[in-house]
Amino acid sequence: MNEAITITPAGREDAASISSVLAANRDDLGLFQESSTAVLRALGDFLVARNEAGKIVGCAGVHRDLPELAEVYAVAVTPRCQGQGIGQQLLQACQQRARADGFRHVWLATVKPGYFSRHGFQPICRWKLPAPVLLRKLRQTIQQPVGRWLPALFGRHTFMWKTLGTAPTSDSGTEAKGNSA
C-alpha cells in the first residue's frame, strides 16, 4: 500500500532536499535544475511532499507571473517513489494554492505533455503566453546547463495551460493530506 503523503509549503530547511529531488531526476532533460541557493531565493513558490518518515520525496513550484497567471514548475518526485500518486497530489496542491492566491490560470512547459494532460492541462502555442512571461522563461532557460537549452529552445517543450475552476478539479481523487497551500 502507498504511504500517506503530506504536502506543505517549503521551509528554509527544505531547500537542499528540494534541490536533491531535482538532481535525482537530472537525466530528465525537461526538468530544470535549481541549486539550494536558487531554491531559497524562490522559497515562497515551493511545496514539498513528505513521506511518513518526514523525508521529502517530491516538490513543485507555483510562480506568480501576472495577477491572474502563475507557472507550475519543478514538479518532481524521487525516482524510487514515482508512480505512487505523489506527482498527482503535488499538482493538485499547486492548483489549490494557485486558486487560493487568486490566480485564474496556470501554465507549464514540459516534455511530458501526456502526464499533464491527464490532469486537465491543454497544449497551447507558446507565443500565446504574454511576452514578459516568455522572456522570464528564456532567462531561466539560459541559466541552465547547455544540454537543457536545446529541448527548451527548439520546440521539444510543450507549453500547457489550465483555467482553474472555483471548486476542486476532477483530478482531485487523491486528497493531499495536511496540505496547507
Ligand X SMILES: CC(C)(COP(=O)(O)OP(=O)(O)OC[C@H]1O[C@@H](n2cnc3c(N)ncnc32)[C@H](O)[C@@H]1OP(=O)(O)O)[C@@H](O)C(=O)NCCC(=O)NCCS
Residues that bind ligand X (CB under 6 A): 25, 28, 30-31, 75-77, 82-88, 110-112, 114-115, 118
CB of 67 to ligand X, least distance (A): 25
- On the CB side of 83, how many CA atoms lie within 13 Å of its CA? 2
- Toward ligand X, which CB reaches closer, 160 or 164? 160
CB of 77 to ligand X, least distance (A): 4
- Toward ligand X, which CB reaches closer, 12 or 138? 138
- Toward ligand X, which CB reaches closer, 51 or 84? 84
Phi, psi of 33 (to 5 degrees): -95, 145
Query: Quick one: cell of 100?
Result: 487560493
The whole-angstrom separation of Cα 50 and Cα 58 is: 7
- Toward ligand X, which CB reaches closer, 12 or 23? 23
Query: Quick one: cell of 145?
Result: 546547463
The whole-angstrom separation of Cα 49 and Cα 59 is: 6
Query: Quick one: cell of 120?
Result: 486537465
CB of 14 to ligand X, least distance (A): 17
CB of 85 to ligand X, least distance (A): 4
CB of 152 to ligand X, least distance (A): 10
Orientation angle between helical segments 146-153 and 131-142, nearest 10 degrees: 150
Query: Quick one: cell of 123?
Result: 497544449
Q: Which residue is nearest to ligand X (CB)?
A: 87
